Amino acid sequence: MKIEEFSARLLDRKNPLRIHLIGVAGSGMSGLARLLLEMGHQVSGSDRTTSGETERLRASGLQFSTPHSAEVINGVDVVVYSSAIRPTNVALGAALAQEIPTFRRAECLAAILHTRAGIVVSGTHGKTTTSAMTAHILRKGELTPSHYVGAEIPVLGSNAEWNEDGEFLVAEGDESDGTLALYQPKHAIVLNVEEEHLDFYERGIDQIREVFNTMLDQTTGAIVYCRECEEATRLCQKREGSVSYGWENADWTATDLAENIGTTSFTIHYQGEKLGRVELGIPGRHNVLNALGAIALSSLCGVDFQRMARALSSFAGAKRRFETKYLTTRYRVVDDYGHHPTEIAATLQTARTYGSKRLVVLFQPHRYSRTQRLAAEFGCALQDADLVFVTDVYAASEDPISGISGQTIVDAVHEAGETKAVYLPDLKVAHHVVGNQLREGDLLITLGAGNVHEVGNKLIRDLKQLEELKQETLVNAIQLYEPMARHTTIRIGGPAQFWIEPETFDGFAKAMFYCKARGIPVRVIGRGSNLLIRDGGLRGAVIHPKGGDFGAISVDGHTITAGVGVRFKKLASVAREHGIGGFEWMEGIPGNVGGGLRMNAGAMGVETFDQVIRVTFLDEDGVFRDRTRAEIQSFYRSVPELRRNIALSATFQGAPASAEEIQALLDESRHHRNETQPKAASAGCTFKNPEVCGAGQLIDELGLKETRVGMAEVSPEHGNFIVNRGQATAKDLLALIEKIKQVAKQERGIELETEVQILGEDQLTF
């Protein structure tokens, strides 16, 4: 069956066809499915996965199945397949074996287009927006057009629609694989022509010109082209019936541009005559040119200027075309489909009109071949951003090219200018790095034709929570995805989903209440000693009391009251300044008051609760309470009371002592620590001391000093310390802990118990 016969069969309403679409979940194929259903045909489709569009199509009559199978094409008259479908696909293979007529997506679109007065919008960039504008203007001009556009268009209701009574069908013409030459439209718009899709066009621009020329030769009516594009002008200006648009020296021009946030206004002229002012409902100079093309074409179809102006003022753009996904006074997140240097430059130019403090870009390169050939151009285009993150390449069915990755773009950005660029090879966790770097006043753009928008969706989910947290708790120091490696003494740990730093007891209480009321897991962490966070990080909130109430110290006689954020070293120093003895042992403790209270930390034969006389805490019901030492049970490295309740401050008892006595004991504590403890990053003592001997002595006797797993090592200075020799992971450390425990059990029959607290997820889950 040839395209002409297929086109004729499509108009035979008495004998509807049974048509199966392979790869129906894609935007292009789903649009075909909708057109064919609305034309009255029986349509089925299959894909590797379902989508929101396939669910909507099911409601309209699509028979959908997943995954692909040979059985789905039994009894069908025609099979249509997308460009992403390989010859090895089982459904396509079965269709060929049964000699069922098969058509590529563009061939099917051509067959549908030939049943109407077709309007093909072509070009390297801007096709979706311009075809959507054109269809919207014709609809507002009461011409009831059909349309086929390569994205969801809110103002049109869907990416495709068939109107039985309308004369025109507006279609986006894809030039990527040469199928543009199949179309025989009444009218055509040529937006721009550049060297692109060079994986297909091996002969470069000459081969691209041939395809455009073939389509233009087959156009029976008007050809509208952009005067600003040299190639488009070269191809079109001498053709009969050609109409130009541009900034000047064109039939249709725009002057007096005013770029506002989200809109652009300008004055329209036709052949030198001023027609009036237009306010376009989307931003960007490049979209003014797109609007001029749509206006020029719509005028040829008979729509008057006032109707065109009203239509453009209500045009809201296409999905993933500078689409604002999230907007508050603090942040704006925009998603854009741009994947070519020219598109990126236009998008960033538009973004600059929004007046944000910083423009942050997360770019996903599309296709290895494009990345390889246009790396330098990408590097230049991305200079308009303040900070650029680059994911790995979205292959789009291409095989990888050795040496080509997202790092290729990062290198090109650095070569082109001063803009900072960072390579993020793992898309699943890219939002952790980007979100942690966002600051209030930033505009973030997720940019690319692949699935980079999924990163934006994850960020938006947590940005909403973050902003609500700030509003409800009045704590402004809240950060997304804070790496816990920055906040543990061993410098290991995945991210905290929400990192909260209250400075007041009231802010702390509000943050705790907010999280508990919404079922958000919450942890309170001090300086991060005696703590190991797994590589998957901490889902929920981590509260880190800092400064303010938590850093306060007051002295009354021989007692000292300190907030939980005060370091033990600081407490020992204050005691010395006031002639108070008994605090010298704290010089050797790397943590702060909060951690010391919770773990009943100790050194040199003294424990924290030996000196505590009173603790102020927040109880499980959110009430502030004071409790005396006599009311609190404490044990070796354990205080049950503080597992349920959160200490806020404590009062410690000291004794009068001379400056010489205090200094001598401080020096002894410092010397003991320097002689017996490693200087490398550690979490302190790894294991509790068993009854028979010290854990460090046991590990030494077992010959396990300097044992390594990855970059985690048993310290040669002290066997009960595991140190981070560089880029150790929690996985390394946990494996080393398990190895030590196994040896101790096998050789001495001793069950070692960890003193270090181990928290978090093994795998990233948020």
Q: Burial code of 60-78, b = ≥16 C-beta within 10 A, e = fewer? A: eebebbeebeeebbeebbb
What CA–CA distance (Å, rounded) separates 279 from 265?
Answer: 4
- In contact, 199 and 398? CB cutoff 8 Å: yes
- CB-based contacts of 374, cutoff 8 Å, min separation 6: 340, 341
* Residue numbers annotated as active site: 127-128, 172
Contact 155, 314 (CB under 8 A): yes
Q: Six-digit token pair at 536?
A: 């998957």
**Is the bond into 67 cis (omega within 30 degrees of 0)?**
yes
606 phi/psi in degrees, rounded to 5: -120, 140
Can you read off the two tokens belonging to residue 737? 């802990």
DSSP string, 562-616: EETTSBHHHHHHHHHHTTEES-GGGGG--SBHHHHHHHT-EETTEEGGGTEEEEE
> Distance between CA 440 and CA 6 in Å, rounded?
56
What's the residue count for the chain?
766
Cα–Cα distance measured from residue 20 to residue 11, given in angstroms and rounded to the nearest whole number: 17
Instruction: Report the sign of the C-alpha dihedral through residues 475, 478, 484, 486, in that order.
Output: negative
CB 690 within 8 A of CB 752: yes
Whose CA is closest to 611, among 645, 577, 566, 654? 654
User: Token digits for 764?
Assistant: 């990233």
| Rg over CA atoms, the chain | 34
- CA-CA distances (angstroms) from residue 468 to 141, 474, 479, 502? 44, 10, 13, 15
Q: What is the DSSP letter of 149?
A: -
Give the count of beta carbons closer than 10 Å to the beta carbon of residue 758.
Answer: 14
Residue 282 sits at the vertex; the CA angle it makes with 280 and 285, to the nearest 5 degrees, is 80
In three-state secondary structure terms, 177 is: coil
Please provide the DSSP assignment of 493-554 as one string.
--EEEEEE---SHHHHHHHHHHHHHTT--EEE-SS-TTEEE-TT-EEEEEE---SGGGG-EE
- Per DSSP, 130 falls in state H
Contacts 24+ apart (CB under 8 A), 5-12: 6/78, 6/101, 6/103, 6/107, 6/108, 6/111, 7/110, 7/111, 7/112, 7/114, 7/115, 10/36, 10/39, 10/41, 10/111, 10/112, 10/115, 11/115
Amino acid sitting at position 402: S
Q: Report the 10 Å Cβ neighbour count for 37.
A: 18
The rounded distance, in Å, linking the Cα atoms of 567 and 233 is 72
Per-residue b/e over 417-440, b at no fewer than 16 CB within 10 Å? eebebbbbeebebbbbbbbbbbee
**Strand, helix or coil for residue 265:** strand
Q: What's the one-letter identity of residue 64? A: F
DSSP string, 616-646: EEE-TTS-EEEEEGGG---BTTB-THHHHSE
Q: How many helices (H) and strands (E) does the chain have?
A: 23, 40
Read off the tokens for 249.
Answer: 């020296």
User: Rounded to an integer, what is the distance from CA 686 to the centroid of its chain?
Assistant: 37
